[in-house]
Structure 1
Amino acid sequence: MAHEHHRHEGESLATAAKIAMEKSGEQWTQMRASIFEALAAFDKPASAYDIAEKVSQEQGRRVAANSVYRILDLFVGANLARRVESVNAYVANDHPGCLHDCIFLICDNCGQATHIDNDTLSGGVRAAAEEAGFAAERPVIEVHGRCGECVGG
């Protein structure tokens, strides 16, 4: 089923993330805000170590990757971030108010990951799992290849 997304960026994205986090019953702390801001600033999927390094540099103090992992798990649970499983990295969800199964197109050349929503495809995966007697909790579809820029360049 197709529908329009209200995609956020910049301050609008930070505000949408704060609202979604508070709606999930969690507080929007300064550390969570800093980690989300760092995650959203990356133009490719970022690891917890990438994010910890960026926040550490910005705050002038060491931020442990373990703390970042815990917060990223919280973000994934609240639909603020998506985990790109095959590369163990994360991307900010630019429409946190809308829940979809994850479908990523991952460029093996430049590392870019594009998140697409296709409820027909993910619905088919869920239906196939159900036919096999399996309850799909969180389908993740990742397609590796080369992005349009890398193919054309």
Structure 2
Amino acid sequence: MAHAHDHHEPQGAELALAAQTTLEKSGEQWTSMRASVYEALAGFAKPASAYDIADAVSKSEGRRVAANSVYRILDLFVGANLAHKVESANAYIANAHPDCLHDCIFLVCDNCGQTTHLDDDRITGGVRNAARAAGFSPVRPVIEVRGTCAACEPVPAR
């Protein structure tokens, strides 16, 4: 897999601070509810639905949080590059480097649901160029590759 450049991938409080900084640079406020949704989203090891995130925030806040509110925040996060949407699963993952804009390539395991995000500007650039050649103006390509991850791949018999 080719990367245009390497990324430092912050985690925990450092990731939340990177997300907050990126959102504020876009002119939006980092509210306590947005912080709670981002913290819950970043806490999932696999893509999470708005309902999963609403449940996690509800438990941490000790009050019911509606999935509709979470959807609105997730839409904002996707637009501000804080999260990516895995379209085929209608689920979201936190962007591990929100200050860097790339098109999305996801490897989605059909067995366990593990999703890996790749940055390969050669591939997504090719998709953008093909779209332009067909008279289409691409906004943000999302490529999903369905299959089996290494952990789920059966071990070949000897």
So what's the TM-score if we normalise by structure 2?
0.95
2:67 alignment counterpart: 65
Cα displacement (A) at 1:3: 1.0
Q: Which amino acid aligns with 2:118?
A: I
> How high is the sequence identity, in percent, across the aligned residues?
69
Within the candidate set 37, 40, 57, 2:39 is matched to 37
Within the candidate set 32, 50, 53, 2:52 is matched to 50
| Residue 25 of structure 2 is aligned to residue 23 of structure 1 | yes
2:14 alignment partner, SS class = helix
| Residue 121 of structure 2 is aligned to residue 128 of structure 1 | no
Equivalent residue runs for 1:60-99 within 5 Å: 60-99=62-101
Equivalent residue runs for 1:87-126 within 5 Å: 87-126=89-128
* Structure ranking higher in helix proportion: 1
Runs of 4+ in 1 over 2 A off after TM superposition: none
Instruction: Please give the per-residue CA displacement for 1:96-128, whole angstroms capped at 9, x wherever unaligned.
Output: 010000000000000010000000000000010
1:6 alignment counterpart: 8
Q: Which amino acid aligns with 1:66?
A: N
CA distance in 2, matches of 1:86, 1:135: 22
CA distance in 1, matches of 2:131, 2:37: 35
Cα displacement (A) at 1:138: 1.2
- The gaps in structure 1 that reach 5 residues or longer are none
1:147 alignment counterpart: 149
So what's the TM-score if we normalise by structure 1?
0.98
Cα displacement (A) at 1:152: 4.7
- The gaps in structure 2 that reach 5 residues or longer are none
